[in-house]
Copies of this chain bind each other. A is one copy, B any other.
Amino acid sequence: MNKLPERIRIKDIARLADVSVGTVDRVLHGRSGVSEASRKRVEEILKQLDYQPNMYASALASNKKYTFCCLLPQHEEGEYWSAVEKGISNALRTFSDFHISVKTIYYDPYDYQSFAKAAKEILELEPDGVMVAPTVQAYTENFILRLNEQQIPFIYIDSNIKELPGLAFYGQNSRQSGYFAARMLMLQTTPTNGTVIFRKIQQGVVGSNQQENREKGFRRYMQEHHPDCIIYECNLHAESGNDDTEMLYKFFKLHPEVKSGITFNSKAYIIGEYIATQDMTDFNLIGYDLLDRNVACLKNRGISFLIAQQPELQGFSGIKTLCDYLIFKKDVKHTNYMPIDLLSIENIDYYSNVNYANQD
């Protein structure tokens, strides 16, 4: 119901105020050449319509087009980043009257050179604003410096690089999220049996700052509360394949006493499906994000808990913030942490994972 009548045009305002289109334009831009009476009348109408004059001034009067670029990890349909892209599309639709367009360029999260290459491509496009899911700081830095040089405002999504501040950040506090996850995992773990971290890794690269930071937060909790609990690592290949099964088989054969584990990427289903197949009902796995296959595992008890973080809202908010800043000249809140939501088979059916509520 609360939709803005985005189709109102400057000539509608003129008609309402009984003035010319030129007069409305002058009032919107604070230019002279308008009688006091006309100005008052226009301003009154704008107020009645709950107009944000700047917004319409920029969008309607200048007719300027805004090109945004997103730099995101490569992914397949249905994976975590699809939800982020859904939010981006939603924002595109919501702000379609303001001539915005979004071009998304992808990088291989396991190949730092790929990030640099994609970044270069974006810089050459000279966009008006950028949203980036950064890779490690060392390989993100050059891109950020160039954006600053070219005075292109940018939003961090997913993870933040505090040392290279952007216009805003949307994402979970990854360390705190890992810290929380550790507590939840240890509620299901006999510390003397140890626990295990499952990773997707390629040539030593974990693939995202979020995963690294979650693991840091996880390890901090373990250090503080269970310093004697052994934390095993089971590194699966980033490129999923049949050898996952073999590696999991080997791990569990070697460590039959380990009855709990966690994965900080969004592909918990790889382990969850293995657990379900093997009927390892006493193994407690915690994963991240509400991918369909993850939720299916939650429901058949291959996964014990999932932690969610509103990816669609992140994508939407990032683009909205670029609009707020560039088009509507609004103040922008820098740090926007997403909730750390715990889902289990008992409460998942009541979870609403898309909300654009507090975005006004």
Residues of chain A at the chain B interface (Cβ within 8 Å): 1-9, 12, 15-16, 47-52, 55, 172-173, 176-177, 179-180, 183, 187-188, 324, 328, 337-342, 344, 346-347, 349-352, 354-358, 360
Q: Out of B1, B9, B52, B346, which one reaches A340, CB within 8 Å?
A: B346
CB proximity of A345 to chain B, nearest CB, Å: 9
Task: Report yes or no: B7 in contact with A4, Cβ–Cβ below 8 A.
Answer: no
Query: Could you tell me the distance between the alpha carbons of A324 and B2 in the complex, rounded to whole angstroms?
Result: 12
Q: Name A's interface SS.
A: loop
CB proximity of A75 to chain B, nearest CB, Å: 25
Contact A350 to B16, CB < 8 A, known contacts A1-B328, A4-B3, A341-B341: no
Q: Could you list 13 A-B pairs, sorted by A, with CB under 8 Å?
A: A1-B360, A4-B5, A4-B50, A5-B50, A7-B47, A7-B49, A176-B349, A177-B347, A179-B346, A337-B350, A340-B351, A355-B357, A355-B358
Query: Could you tell me the distance between the alpha carbons of A52 and B351 in the complex, rounded to whole angstroms?
Result: 30
Chain B residues, Cβ within 8 Å of A5: 4-5, 48-51
Task: Report yes or no: A347 in contact with B48, Cβ–Cβ below 8 A.
Answer: no
CB proximity of A38 to chain B, nearest CB, Å: 16
Question: In the complex this chain forms, how many copies of it are found?
Answer: 2
Chain B residues, Cβ within 8 Å of A4: 1-5, 50
Task: Report yes or no: A342 in contact with B339, Cβ–Cβ below 8 A.
Answer: no
Query: Could you tell me the distance between the alpha carbons of A12 and B356 in the complex, rounded to whole angstroms?
Result: 30
Chain B residues, Cβ within 8 Å of A2: 2-4, 360
Task: Report yes or no: B350 in contact with A338, Cβ–Cβ below 8 A.
Answer: yes
Chain B residue at smallest Cβ distance from A13: B16
Task: Report yes or no: A347 in contact with B342, Cβ–Cβ below 8 A.
Answer: yes
Task: Report yes or no: B176 in contact with A346, Cβ–Cβ below 8 A.
Answer: yes
Chain B residues, Cβ within 8 Å of A51: 5
CB proximity of A44 to chain B, nearest CB, Å: 10
Chain B residues, Cβ within 8 Å of A7: 47-50
Contact A52 to B346, CB < 8 A, known contacts A355-B355, A357-B356: no
Query: Could you tell me the distance between the alpha carbons of A5 and B56 in the complex, rounded to whole angstroms?
Result: 14
